[in-house]
Amino acid sequence: MKAAVLNQKNYKLEIREVSQPVLSESNVLIKLKVAALNHHELWSLQEKNLKSNSNIIMGSDGAGVIIELGDAVNNFKIGDEIIINPSINWGFDKRVHGEKYEILGFPTQGTFAEYISINQKYAFHKPKYLSFEEAAAFPLAGLTAYRALYTRGELEANNTVLITGIGGGVALFALRFAVASGANVYVTSGNDNKIRKAIELGAKGGTNYKKNTWGSELLNQASGFDVIIDSAAGEGFIELTKLAKPGCRIALFGRTAGQIPMLNPSIIFWKQLSIHGTTMGTDEEFKKMIDLISTKRIRPIIDSTYPFEKIIDGFEKMESGRQFGKIIIKIAD
């Protein structure tokens, strides 16, 4: 089969012919039609931190059709259209993943390939109203947004929510989910056009974080926030604690702006703020995310689609920060 294999010397992806994955008794063999890109894979390429004696096939997002069943599989049939949960071996504690946790794509073979063999517990029926391209956009970013917003952020109807860095997959899903749940949503971006697009999708307002006045502008628009979803950290995180209402829940899932300098502890304890780290989610949260998007008929925002052979071009666009929505990789018709 064709796969985008990581060259561990130059950390570039190369399309190669590799062996088709082996089907175990609890697994389903899926012919993948579509994959999607995430910053998770981009960071691995940039940080050069993956090492293996065998082929590394990355990719966390994918959708396709079951073509073979393991002997112990009883929830699916050949021909079922599938979306894959990339959150593997979470463990028993819902609060935090266990030591054996992994994100699909390493060490378990990921979705940048024509076929994938995966345990049936991580296969879910694709919502029928979604195309394969739309379905493949959801798994990693949608799950991350769901846990950040509902589990860690404890979102309630009519809450006022701030989502930083709108344009990326997780931020856009958080926007779509929060709006669908009746929240009043505001956004930040370094690009005014992305803010305008977010308002078209239901945000009440937003501001450009490159302005020195971005914090005061948000306070004028919203008078503070009940829930803040942040992917940047960095110096701007201090401003987020100032924008937080008493009792605010701040969910942090990224570090694109680097380390957080000294916080003012009096702001944190007098406002009784809750600052939660979050990443990915449990099997139950993935199911709840699928139920939410199906009930609300939520569709993803897709920025662009690339043929499999142009996957590197997709990552170059992601690295440039020009995308608004998910970048899709078409593997098969």
Superfamily of the domain at 2-138+300-330: Medium-chain alcohol dehydrogenases, catalytic domain (3.90.180.10)
| Token reading at 63 | 């959708």
For residue 60, the number of C-alpha atoms closer than 13 Å in the C-beta half-sphere is 26
**What does the mean pLDDT of the chain come to?**
96
The SS3 of residue 274 is: strand
What digits encode the pLDDT tens for the residues 148-161?
A: 999 999 999 999 99
What residue type is assigned to position 128 of the chain? K
How much is the pLDDT for 225?
98
d(CA 316, CA 25): 39
d(CA 196, CA 192): 6
Which residue's entry shows tokens 């010397």? 9
CA angle 273, 275, 277 (to 5 degrees): 170
d(CA 100, CA 177): 30
| Token reading at 26 | 């609890």
CA nearest to 62, candidates 5, 101, 117, 107: 117
The separation between CA 73 and the C-alpha centre of its own chain, rounded to angstroms, equals 28
Farthest CA pair distance, the chain: 61
Q: Are 86 and 80 in contact (CB under 8 A)?
A: no
List, for the chain, all residue ranges whose pLDDT scores fall below the cut of 70.
none
What residue type is assigned to position 65 of the chain? V
Say how many Å lie between the first and final Cα of the chain, rounded. Answer: 15
What residue type is assigned to position 180 of the chain? A
What's phi and psi for 53, nearest 5 deg?
A: -80, -10
What digits encode the pLDDT tens for the residues 246-268?
A: 999 999 999 888 899 989 999 99
Burial of 256 (0-12, 13-18, 19+ CB in 10 A): middle
d(CA 95, CA 151): 9
d(CA 169, CA 174): 9
3.90.180.10, 3.40.50.300, 3.30.10.20, 1.50.10.10: which CATH number matches 143-277? Answer: 3.90.180.10
d(CA 309, CA 293): 30
For residue 123, give every residue at least 6 positions away whose Cβ sits within 8 Å of its Cβ, in sequence order, or none. 28, 30, 66, 75, 76, 82, 83, 84, 85
- Share in percent of the chain as helix, strand, coil (round to 5): 30, 30, 40
CB atoms closer than 10 angstroms to residue 284: 11
Name the DSSP letter for residue 307: E
Domain ranges of the chain: 2-138+300-330, 143-277
Domains 2-138+300-330 and 143-277 share a fold: yes
How much is the pLDDT for 333?
85
